[in-house]
Structure 1
Amino acid sequence: MIGMLFSRGAAGVPAPGPVDFATLALPSSPNTCLLTPTTSPGAGHLHRDPFPVTPDKAEAAIRAVAAAMPRTFPLADFPDRRQAQWVARTRLMNYPDIVVAEVAPAGGGTGLWLYSRSLIGHSDLGANRARVMEWLAAFEALLRRS
């Protein structure tokens, strides 16, 4: 844990495997936030209708959003799943959080799964939910402009 706190970027954070959103069991702690398409089964904290764009366009957009976020660094990439993961470090304490994004055809459009979770601590005071909302707003704005 100490290595994660004193590292920069994604250093010190073990690269996880892909997240299987169909079987993901959310923890009981309040330090996560999961956005799922409304057409997707399973638990999520937030839901959004699929977007009327191709998976290629949605994938490019969410990657552009991640690249524009401060203190956010690539962690893992699973192209066959259209899933990417990043480390987002908090401004004051440098805590590493993991953000996972995946796009897939859903409900006549493209669904977005966006999962932000803390690696340290029990509560995040709403930081992961705020991050998911910020990424979603930036994603939607980018799709509107293109």
Structure 2
Amino acid sequence: MRNMLLAIFIAAVMVVLGFVRLAPSDPARWHVPPQAQADRDLPKGVLRVFETGPDGLARLDRIAQATPRTTVLAGSVEQGMVTYITRTKVFGFPDYTTVQQDGDTLRIYARLRFGRRDFGVNRDRVERWLALLQP
């Protein structure tokens, strides 16, 4: 009985982890303009407003795409807005970061998909990206 319960538990964990890794990401849900007027730390993510000049998105795009486990979900530099998915190393949890060029300003919204708190993971990643934008 004990072995059967353990097997059921392991199977359930594998199903959940499979869902986390394989669940489709709908661009209509995640690729939306950041509504940020000022920097804010949120329980599920972070909003940042950063002055970069008109080429900020192009420069940040190079930084983001060089980040391990980060891919483009939707958008492009030419469109003026890009949404990236960055996955955690071990379990593959997705975080979504949308960056929009607004004149000389970047508006950034990084947030988790699963869970109630991101424990500063999105803030730390966005802060690293912004630090790399500094001259």
TM-score by length of 1: 0.67
Distance 2:19 2:28 in 1: 14
Which is helix-richer, 1 or 2?
A: 2
Residue-pair matches, total: 116
Show the counterpart of 2:65.
67
Q: Is the 8 A contact 1:4 1:96 kept in 2?
A: no
Structure-2 residue corresponding to 1:6: 21
Q: 1:19: Cα distance to partner?
A: 2.1
Task: Report the aligned-residue RMSD.
Answer: 2.7
Equivalent residue in structure 2 for 1:121, among 101, 115, 124: 115
Q: Could you say if the C-alpha distance between residues 135 and 4 of structure 1 is closer, same or farther in structure 2, counting changes exceeding 3 Å?
A: farther
State the match for 1:111 in structure 2.
Answer: 105
Distance 1:96 1:22, change over 3 A: closer
Instruction: Note the residue ranges of structure 2 that are not aligned, 5 or more in a row.
Output: 1-14
Change (3 A) 1:70 1:93: same
Inter-partner Cα distance in structure 2 for 1:84 and 1:115:
11
For 1:132 and 1:59, the matched residues in 2 are separated by 13
Are the structure 2 counterparts of residues 60 and 79 from structure 1 closer, same or farther at C-alpha, using a change threshold of 3 Å? Answer: closer
Identical-pair percentage: 27
Question: What is the TM-score normalised by the length of structure 2?
Answer: 0.72
Gapped regions of structure 1 (runs ≥ 5)? 37-47
